[in-house]
C-alpha cells in the first residue's frame, strides 16, 4: 500500500462545451418522410490533465527535490560511518512500551549493524503508477496499486542518492533492510522492483518486511521490533512519520500536535541523527489540515489599504 491517503488532487480542466451552431437561413424544403432518430445527448467527457500536478512536478521532476534527497542520503551515510566507528549503545528504534512522554530505545548489545528503510518514495520512485494517476486524472486506488505492485517492477527509478547510500552502507558492513507497506503476497515483485532500481537484493523476512508479515496492518512498529531483536539499527530512512515510529502517527493526533511532537520533543534530536526524512509532497499522512491547522491566527496578514501608514 502506498499510503493512507491519496493527495493527487488533480483539478480537471473546465468541461468542454458542446454548443450546437445555428443553421444559416435556408429556403423552405419539403419535410422528409420520416425524421431521423435524435442522437442521445451525452455529457462531454472530462478533459484530461495537460500537465502533472505541482506536487508531482516537484518530487519526480525537479532538481530541487533531487538535491534534498541526495543531501538526506549523504547525511545518513556520514552519520552511519560515525556510528560504525563508535558502536552506539542503543538502536534508533523505540523499545516496546515506549510512549511519547517516556521513550526508550532498543539496546544494541553485540548485535550486527543495520539500517532500515521504507521503500515507496523513500528508496524508489513509483513513476509508472504516478504517471497513470497524473495522466488519467484518477485518484489513488488500492486495487490499481495492487496491480502496480504485481506488474510495475521495471517502471520505477531509485530516489536520487539512494543507490550510493546502500552501496556505502554495505561497504561499511551495515545490513540494508527494507520495511514497507507493500503487501506480503507481492514480496517477489517488490524484491524485483528493488533490484531493478539498483538497490540490490531483498529477501522476504530477512531483509524485506511487508504489510501482512504480522497482524498490525500498516503499523510498522511490530516489524521494527522483529528487526531490532536481531540488529543494532543505526539509521532509518522514510518519507512518512510512520516510517520511524507509530507513536508519531496515531489516529486522532491533531495536525499541530503531530508537528509539535516532531519539533519539540525528544524526537527533534533524531532528525538528521538517526532518523532521515525524504521529501514527499505527493501523498501521505503529512497532507492534511484546514486553515486553522496550518496558519496560526496571529500570523495572518492582508494587503494594506492604499495610503495606509505602516
Is residue 121 a contact residue for Mg ion (CB under 5 A)?
yes
Is residue 149 a contact residue for Mg ion (CB under 5 A)?
no
Distance CA 9, CA 244 (A): 26
Minimum Å gap between C-beta 210 and Mg ion is: 13
Minimum Å gap between C-beta 118 and Mg ion is: 4
Instruction: Look up residue 173 and give its DSSP letter.
Output: T
Is residue 130 a contact residue for Mg ion (CB under 5 A)?
no
Minimum Å gap between C-beta 9 and Mg ion is: 18
Distance CA 271, CA 263 (A): 9
Residue 228: closest CA among 131, 112, 308:
112
# residues contacting Mg ion (CB under 5 A): 5
Is residue 120 a contact residue for Mg ion (CB under 5 A)?
yes
Give buried/exposed letters for 80-101 (b at 16+ CB in 10 A, else e).
beebeeeebebbbbbeeebebe
Minimum Å gap between C-beta 50 and Mg ion is: 28
CB of 73 closer than 8 Å to CB of 164: yes
Which CB sits closer to Mg ion, 121 or 129? Answer: 121
Strand partners, 177: 116
Is residue 133 a contact residue for Mg ion (CB under 5 A)?
no
Contact string (CB under 5 A) for Mg ion, positions 216-255, x = contact: -----------------------x----------------
Residues that bind Mg ion (CB under 5 A): 118, 120-122, 239
Amino acid at each position: 500500500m502506498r499510503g493512507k491517503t491519496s493527495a493527487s488532487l488533480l483539478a480537471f480542466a473546465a468541461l468542454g462545451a458542446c454548443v450546437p451552431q445555428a443553421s444559416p437561413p435556408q429556403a423552405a424544403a419539403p419535410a422528409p418522410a420520416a425524421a431521423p432518430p435524435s442522437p442521445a445527448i451525452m455529457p462531454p467527457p472530462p478533459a484530461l490533465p495537460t500537465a502533472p500536478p505541482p506536487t508531482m512536478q516537484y518530487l519526480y521532476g525537479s532538481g530541487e527535490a533531487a538535491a534534498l534527497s541526495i543531501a538526506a542520503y549523504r547525511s545518513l551515510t556520514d552519520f552511519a560511518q560515525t556510528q560504525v566507528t563508535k558502536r552506539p549503545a542503543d538502536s534508533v528504534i523505540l523499545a516496546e512500551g515506549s510512549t511519547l512522554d517516556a521513550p526508550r530505545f532498543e539496546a544494541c548489545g553485540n548485535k550486527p549493524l543495520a539500517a532500515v528503510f521504507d521503500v515507496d518514495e523513500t528508496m524508489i520512485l513509483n513513476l509508472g503508477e504516478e504517471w497513470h494517476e497524473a495522466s488519467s486524472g484518477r485518484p489513488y486506488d488500492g486495487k490499481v496499486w495492487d496491480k502496480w505492485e504485481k506488474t510495475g517492477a521495471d517502471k520505477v527509478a531509485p530516489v536520487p542518492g539512494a543507490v550510493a547510500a546502500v552501496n556505502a552502507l554495505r561497504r561499511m558492513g551495515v545490513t540494508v533492510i527494507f520495511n514497507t507497506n507493500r503487501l506480503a503476497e507481492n514480496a517477489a515483485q517488490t524484491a524485483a522492483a528493488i533490484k531493478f532500481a539498483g538497490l540490490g537484493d531483498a529477501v522476504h523476512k530477512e531483509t524485506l518486511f511487508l504489510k501482512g508479515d504480522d497482524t498490525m496492518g500498516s503499523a510498522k512498529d511490530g516489524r521494527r521490533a522483529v528487526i531490532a531483536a536481531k540488529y543494532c539499527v543505526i539509521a532509518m530512512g522514510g518519507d512518512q512519520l510512520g516510517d520511524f515510529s507509530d507513536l508519531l502517527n496515531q489516529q486522532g493526533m491533531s495536525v499541530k500536535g503531530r508537528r509539535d511532537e516532531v519539533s519539540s520533543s525528544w524526537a527533534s534530536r533524531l532528525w538528521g541523527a538517526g532518523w532521515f526524512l525524504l521529501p514527499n509532497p505527493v501523498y501521505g499522512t503529512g497532507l492534511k489540515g484546514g486553515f486553522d491547522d496550518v496558519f496560526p491566527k496571529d500570523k495572518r496578514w492582508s494587503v494594506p489599504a492604499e495610503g495606509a501608514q505602516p
